[in-house]
Structure formats: C-alpha cells, structure tokens
Structure 1
Amino acid sequence: MIYGARLRQAREFSRLTQRAVQVEIGVSQSRWSSAESDAYELPEIALSKFADLTGFPTSFFERPPRIELSGDPLHFRSRSTVSKAELRQAERAGEIVFEAAAYLQSQLDGPRLVLPTEPASETTRLTGLLRQALGLTPTEPARDLLHLLEHAGVTVVAVPAAATRKDAFSVWLDDRPFVALLETEAGDRQTWSLAHEMGHLLLHRGVGASRALESEADDFAAELLLPPAALSKEMPQHPTLQDFAMLKRRWRVSIAALIRAARRLERIDDDRYHSLFRQMSARGERLREKAAIAPSKPRGLRAMAEVLYGPTPVRGLADVMHWTLEFAEDVMVRHATAEELPFRRERADTVVSLDSRRKGTR
C-alpha cells in the first residue's frame, strides 16, 4: 500500500507543487491529489519516477507515517519574509526527523524529562524553575543551552531544510517536547530560538500560534538568557557597541538583544536605543552581526543511533527509516559527535543519558 501522507510529505519537503509533479511524472493533478488522499493508487512506474524526483526510496512510501504535524498546534519562530512553501518544507522535514528520533527513543532508555511541572503564572518564576532544572544558577549565562535541554529530556533535532530564513519550531508529541532547529550560521540566534521555543512549550502547550504568543515567548527568552538581576551588575551605565560585543561573548546572545535588555534596565534612553540600532544598520549588522558565534549541533539523535548501529550509524538509520544513504548522511552530519560538543567536555558522554538495552526489536 502507498500512503498518501507520505507522498505529500516528500512532495512538500522537496518544495514541489502538485502541478510540478504532474509535469515531471505525467500523473494528472486531480489524480495526484486523490493519491495524496488515499483515494487513488499510483501505478508502480509513477511511484518510481516520484521516488527518483524526490530522492526517497519507494519503500519509504509504503510505511505508514507515525508523525503528522498538520493537526498539532505548531509554534514557529521565523522571519516575516518566510514563504508558505518554506514553512511546509520545514514542517515535513520535522515530521521525517522527529519520526526517526521517536523510533530511536522507543528502542532505548533515554534521559528523564525534568522540565518544571509546578504552576507558575509569572515568566520570571518559570524561567527560574527552568534554570534550576537545567542545573544553572540564577546568575550564570546559559552558554550551552542546547545540550542542557537535551540532557533534561527535550528532544532537539536539526532538520535538512534548505531555506535560511527560518529558525526553529516546537511541538509536544506523546507528552514529550520536540524542537526542530533549521539552518542558521548565527549561534546567538540559535540560542535565542531555543529559549523562545521553550517559552512556547512551557507557556503555550495546546494553544495555536498568534503574534501575542510570539511576544510572550520572546519575553520568556529574554528572562531565561538575560536575567535582569545578573545582567544589571555587568551592564555599564552608558554602554557602547563595543561593550555590547564583549557582553555578547559572555552571554551568547545577539548585540541587538543586549541593546533591548539595556533599554529595559534603563541603562539607555529611547534616543540612545535608536541611535545604537542606526549604528548597527550603518555597519551592515542588523541581519548579520560581525561578532560571530558559531551554532551548535544537537547530540541526542546521533548518540541514540550510535548506541543502536555503532560509531558510523548512517546505514543502520537509513535501513530502519527507509531513507537513502544520502539523506541519512545529511541528517547525521547536522548532529554532533561527542568530539564536537562545544562545552562541558567532561560530560560529553552524558549529554544524553542512554541505556544501551533495547526495549524492543525492529
């Protein structure tokens, strides 16, 4: 049996319209639409052509999808210029990689989820509880937020979506939080996106997206990454861009985020606030800051695959998920080996606490 949801998944991941599929493989748009709705069985030759077109083996389409995000409230941190095609591509990529992570988790005893569970009506209170759960003091920078979250039981994956104007999205699946990271060259933006998504996961579970909720998630990120009591002790009374660049290295957030924090702390007034952003624009740094911080790679997915399939897990993962070797390699290269972990190297083997016992078989 060919599953229509798989056809749609591969088509939208490849950023193809139904009309484009018609042109490429010779199946009418109406019949293709029926195939995606499980109302028409594609001929074998048409399926083979579509597999070649999208880069997925034909066996991929014969497996029922385990994760479909279309029915779940999805919180997506992206720039305003992102297109619907890019959003769909990211969602489908998330489905495919989330499915792999969920399968691997089903085979292993992974880290226990230790996110805050007690109610907290104030963002400051909730971010304090999260910092405590992550093993952070109230005043230290969250320098390795990605791997701290993985260690706390949050499933973080990097997905192979080609566009560069998206950041991250999150969703609860079977009472476990999942975060998908999309391509970025800016580690400070990646850290903010992770904190932003944690705001959604903890504040907005089961609630649809809205502009107001995006603002709340940004407030959560600001409190988590830049605790006012700690930052106020380090922020100069009249900070310059050079001061913000120094603070960026320590706190691992953008200069723009630090300027906003300075305004909230009343270290600068509105005129100075706008002047600093004009200076950044004149330098060409509003979209890409020169004081670069490299992004990090998630570790969990690769760590689980290594336990099950050995130190080079690409073939094992490709076989069990019915991916091509090329696609499996593209996913794996986005996830860190133990040697690639940027901080806390003494804990490299415990970024994800895994028990090598299998819970079941394939």
Structure 2
Amino acid sequence: MNRKSMLDVSSYKPEFNPDKLRLARERRGLTKEGLAELCGVSRRAVSDWESGRVEAPPVEKIGQVLDFPAAFFFGDSIDEVAESAVSFRALSSMSVRQANRVLAHASLMRTFSSWIDVRYATPAVDLPSIEELTASITNLEPSPVEAAESMRAMWGLGARPIKDLLALLESKGVRVFGLPGHDREVDAFSFWHEDLPLIFLNTTKSAERLRFDLAHELGHLCMHRDINTNRNRQFELDANSFASAFLMPTAGLLPQLVGRPTLENVMRLKKYWLVSATAMVRRLNQLGRLSDWQYRSWMVSLSEKGFRSNEPDGIQPEQSSLLKQILGLAREDGWSVDRIAKDLGFSRQDLTEALMGLTVLPVTSSTRGSSAGTIEPPPGKPTLYRVK
C-alpha cells in the first residue's frame, strides 16, 4: 500500500519560535526564574527569549536544561489546549504552574495525534451529543443516568458488563493517553479538540478505577461539550452518576439483587461488573438498596480492608489496542519510538509516558517496506489502516 507522499521542505529554514520555548518551560513545570537559574542567566534574559526580543537564544543549552531537542524550538507554533476546554476534577486545588504543565502535555499529545492521523486511518468518532442522547427522553431535564442508559442503547451494549471499555471507546474514535508520573495527582481529564475527543488517565490506578475514570470522562465528553466544567462540583457529580449507570446499568444489576445485600454480594458483583468494591457500594446506595447509614458503614469497612487505596484481588488493566496497532504499523514503516519522538521534536520520555507503557523495539532492516496494510486486532478492537 502506498505511503502518503511528503512535500520537499529541504529549502525551508524555520525560525526560532518563542511560543514553543514557553510551552517547553511550562511542560517542565518551571517558572521563568527557575529556567533562568538552570541556564545561568537572568530572568530578564528568559523574558527576552520568550517575547522574541532575542532572535537566536542558546537553544542547545535550553534544550539540555528542558530535555527537549533543540529542533523543537523552531517552526510553527503548536496548537495549544486551553484550560477552559478541559474537564479538570480539582482545578481549585491546582497551582497555575501545575495546570500549565498538564495542558502543555495535552498539547504535545494532541500534536502526536495529528501525526497519527497523517499516516493512519483510525476509527471515526461516534460519540452522540447530549441532544442525541436525550432526544427520546420526555423529561424536561434528562438525568445523567438516563443519558448513560441511552448511550448503552445507541451502542447496542444491552444490560451486560462491558468487557473492555478502553477498546470500546477507541473503536468509537476516542484517543486515550497516559499522564506522566509527576502529573498523576491531576487524576484524569478530557477535552474535545475540534472534532476529536481525548482522554488522559493516571495509569497507576487499579484497573477498576481506570474503567470508572474512562466512563466518567466519557460522561464529560458527551454531556458537557463546549461547557467549562471547572470549579463546578455539580458537573463532577453528574459525570460520576453517568459512569455508575454506564458501567452498572439498572436493568442488569437490579435482577441480581435478591434479598438483603451483603458485603459478600458486593465482592461477587464487583467482579462480575468489573468495577471497584466502593463503586458497587455507591451504586447500591443510588439504587436505594443500601441506606445512607449502611453506605457509610460499608465504606468505612472497605477502607479498613484497603479497598479505598487499592483493589485487592483486582482485574488486569486494559491496554490500548489502538496505540499498539499504531506502534506496530509504525515499526513496519521504520518508525521506532525514538524516531517518532525526534520527528515530533519531543523527548523520548514525553512520548513513552503518554503511551501507557507500550514500547516499540528498534527497527531492523527486515521490517522496512512491509506491504502489510493492516494489523488485525482481536475481536471487538478498533482496526487501523495506513493512509493511502
């Protein structure tokens, strides 16, 4: 299959771009003073670099300090992600520096997403809007639970557990990336960039909590598109309600609740529905099968047993089928992770941390020029094609 032809840019000489210097500094969580100290210059010098008053700052030195290739600081600006576009769970507790660092990471990964789209045809976006989800609901103000039930119906999920939520979302056109270690206190967030939905996850959590985070962010993407949800707790509560109903639908869960619920029942049900024990207890309370007193008592008991910070006897984490296929095809085309990062102007670490632990082996001559057009994923996984 033919690769996409590239333009001849041999005569193009990019200029230093001060916006990309600022973005790189923010990605590393540094103030101007911090960068100045590491570079051995004054704060005024850094301000001059970032304002464009200096045409040729010492990019090699800056690149070493910030762990960015010097080439990153040249060429067109990166289309940056605005804070107002992102659904942060605890923006009020985040410092400006922390928010900027995470937004810079999201901007870099959005650029990587564009790199993917130039080379590979990925699943089309198929996320219904809140208007589409609630079109058949007669209530004047449809609830998040009704929206979740409507989405399950539109996607033909029935009332059964979703075996691989990450694969499902990727098959619907959602891009999912991981958060670097020092950004994981942000937890998870999502946003739309033009018509592309993206989710970022703290991949150190238990598999059950990652699934809930995915469903939570799916709720934001569908219910709160074009709405600034930051600093509004009700939006977070709505996304939680959506996630609970999406993962544990009433029609499937209620028939399993025979007699008085017990913690033993919770352990059985949470394994069946692939959720955390605390999420199951919360859902039983929402459905009126646990009193508020029982709910609080059981949550204390689960916390004492370690279920608030971990998930004993948990399930295996879901892996990104889409990214695995992309890296597999890229490897056949001669693109190692190092080469992709260099092409983007990123450090290797910036890219690998976002790939949720997936890696690509060094390219060998036998892999170059492969004629394979697709990599067939397991049943139910998104299928990926090269762009002709």
The DSSP-based 3-state class of the residue aligned with 1:177 is strand
Q: Does residue 320 of structure 2 align to residue 320 of structure 1? A: no
Give, in angstroms, the shift of residue 203 of structure 1: 0.9
Q: Does residue 195 of structure 2 align to residue 175 of structure 1? A: yes
Give, in angstroms, the shift of residue 6 of structure 1: 2.0
Distance of 2:324 and 2:51 partners within structure 1: 34
Q: 2:292 is aligned with what amino acid? A: D
CA separation of 1:329 and 1:211: change in aligned 2, threshold 3 A = closer
Higher mean alpha-carbon deviation, 97-106 vs 194-203, is at 97-106
CA separation of 1:203 and 1:178: change in aligned 2, threshold 3 A = same
Q: Does residue 52 of structure 2 align to residue 32 of structure 1? A: no
Which of 59, 72, 95 does residue 60 from structure 1 map onto?
A: 72
Which of 97, 111, 114 does residue 102 from structure 1 map onto?
A: 114
TM value normalised by structure 1:
0.85
Q: Residue 290 of structure 1 aligns with which residue?
A: 312
Q: Residue 341 of structure 1 aligns with which residue?
A: none
CA separation of 1:39 and 1:135: change in aligned 2, threshold 3 A = farther
CA separation of 1:259 and 1:38: change in aligned 2, threshold 3 A = farther
Q: Does residue 198 of structure 2 align to residue 184 of structure 1? A: no
Q: Residue 217 of structure 1 aligns with which residue?
A: 239
Distance of 1:63 and 1:20 partners within structure 2: 25
Distance of 2:42 and 2:119 partners within structure 1: 41
Distance of 1:38 and 1:241 partners within structure 2: 63
Deviation digits for residues 59-108 of structure 1, max 9, x if unmatched?
Answer: 11213233311264210245986655443332222211221012211322
Count of aligned pairs between the two proteins: 347
Give, in angstroms, the shift of residue 221 of structure 1: 0.8
CA separation of 1:37 and 1:175: change in aligned 2, threshold 3 A = farther
Deviation digits for residues 228-256 of structure 1, max 9, x if unmatched?
Answer: 22111123533233322222212122211
Maintained 8 Å contact 2:148/2:245: yes
Q: Residue 249 of structure 1 aligns with which residue?
A: 271
Q: Whose radius of gyration is greater, 1 or 2?
A: 2
Give, in angstroms, the shift of residue 202 of structure 1: 0.7
Q: Residue 153 of structure 1 aligns with which residue?
A: 173
CA separation of 1:253 and 1:119: change in aligned 2, threshold 3 A = closer
The DSSP-based 3-state class of the residue aligned with 1:348 is coil
Q: Residue 369 of structure 2 aligns with which residue?
A: none
Q: Does residue 126 of structure 2 align to residue 114 of structure 1? A: yes
Deviation digits for residues 37-80 of structure 1, max 9, x if unmatched?
Answer: 44444522xx2222112211011121323331126421024598
The DSSP-based 3-state class of the residue aligned with 2:383 is coil
The DSSP-based 3-state class of the residue aligned with 1:208 is coil
Q: Residue 303 of structure 2 aligns with which residue?
A: 281
CA separation of 1:294 and 1:20: change in aligned 2, threshold 3 A = farther
Give, in angstroms, the shift of residue 197 of structure 1: 0.8
Maintained 8 Å contact 1:314/1:332: no
Distance of 1:8 and 1:186 partners within structure 2: 35
TM value normalised by structure 2:
0.80
Maintained 8 Å contact 1:109/1:355: yes
CA separation of 1:198 and 1:48: change in aligned 2, threshold 3 A = same
- Structure 2: give runs of 5+ residues left out of the alignment: 1-14, 135-141, 361-375
The DSSP-based 3-state class of the residue aligned with 1:99 is helix
Distance of 1:331 and 1:215 partners within structure 2: 27
Maintained 8 Å contact 1:297/1:334: no
Distance of 1:287 and 1:79 partners within structure 2: 22
Which of 262, 266, 291 does residue 240 from structure 1 map onto?
A: 262
Maintained 8 Å contact 2:203/2:356: no
Distance of 1:183 and 1:40 partners within structure 2: 40
Over the aligned positions, Cα root-mean-square deviation in angstroms equals 2.7
Q: Residue 90 of structure 1 aligns with which residue?
A: 102
Deviation digits for residues 165-204 of structure 1, max 9, x if unmatched?
Answer: 2322111112121112233231111111111111111111
Give, in angstroms, the shift of residue 109 of structure 1: 2.0
Q: Does residue 147 of structure 2 align to residue 126 of structure 1? A: yes
Which of 2, 11, 19 does residue 33 from structure 2 map onto?
A: 19
Q: Residue 387 of structure 2 aligns with which residue?
A: 357
Higher mean alpha-carbon deviation, 205-214 vs 284-293, is at 284-293
1:314-353 mapped onto 2 (5 Å cutoff): 314-332=337-355, 334-335=357-358, 347-348=377-378, 351-353=381-383
Maintained 8 Å contact 1:167/1:190: no
CA separation of 1:252 and 1:26: change in aligned 2, threshold 3 A = same
CA separation of 1:325 and 1:269: change in aligned 2, threshold 3 A = closer
Higher mean alpha-carbon deviation, 143-152 vs 315-324, is at 315-324
Distance of 2:379 and 2:23 partners within structure 1: 34
CA separation of 1:23 and 1:261: change in aligned 2, threshold 3 A = same
CA separation of 1:237 and 1:14: change in aligned 2, threshold 3 A = farther
Distance of 2:345 and 2:84 partners within structure 1: 25
Q: Residue 3 of structure 2 aligns with which residue?
A: none
